[in-house]
Structure 1
Amino acid sequence: MGSPLSLRDDHDSSELRHLARRSRHAGQSRRLLALAAIYDGASRGEAALLAGTDRQSIRDWVVRFNADGPDGLVDRHGGGQKARLT
């Protein structure tokens, strides 16, 4: 088992909680709160329980957060098929 990915050091748990309160996206708020728990010392497994997901999802969120910051945690929709009606 490898070591867990580290989180960016330009944010902290209180800032992430503040961003979660201000977010208009429920999914982003949930992800920010899970990462805030990790900043506070919770394990990835504990953060997964708090967020109602699994550790793999937490890892994916950490990768997205490290790459794009808090904006990287907004839901990404695949786009799908174009609408036939306009």
Structure 2
Amino acid sequence: MDPTLFSSIDFYQLAKREKNAQKRIRLLALAHVKEGKPRDEIAESLKVSRSSVNNWVRRFRCDGLEGIGNKQRSGRPVYLQPQQEELLRNFIESHKLSSDLPPLKGKDIHAFLKHYFDIDYDISHVYRLLKKLKITL
């Protein structure tokens, strides 16, 4: 990164326009660093750790403004594979087409997932899964 970039950026203006609170705090920290304030004083005034301030400065110096943004988090891995989602979708659709069967409920989907895929979702997660797949019962 170009060292003059640090001095040419108005971090206060960027912080005023920033909607994300975490990024706004990072921009304010960089503004204070640019003014020459000690990092432990910056950390205390922003109610963050000194190591966080050091990390933000390092990330800014390495990657510019993109470096202080929120990083994508991996989250919990998905249990159902696309082909399993398709089998679930087919099961529900075929059940809907059969007029002599009672309507499916969350516990029925839960039992299907457990029996065929050995996946034991909580019943509330079954409904979240149906919503994600845009399936109505």
Q: SS state of the match for residue 17, structure 1?
A: helix
Show structure 2 runs of 5+ residues with no match.
80-128, 133-137
> Which of residues 14, 26, 34 is equivalent to 1:19?
14
Provide structure 1 residue ranges, at least 5 long, that are not aligned to the other structure.
Answer: 1-7
What count of residue pairs does the alignment treat as equivalent? 79
Change (3 A) 1:14 1:69: closer
| Residue 77 of structure 1: how far off its partner (Å) | 3.9
Residue 64 (structure 1) aligned with residue 59 (structure 2): yes
* % identical aligned pairs: 33
Q: Which has the higher contact order (CA 8 A, sep 6+)?
A: 1
Q: CA RMSD in A?
A: 2.0
User: Is residue 13–residue 36 contact of structure 1 (8 Å, CA) maintained in 2?
Assistant: no
Which contiguous aligned blocks of 4+ residues in structure 1 show a shift greater than 6 angstroms?
Answer: none
Q: Displacement of 1:54 after TM fit? A: 1.2
For residue 41 of structure 1, report the CA deviation from its aligned partner: 1.5
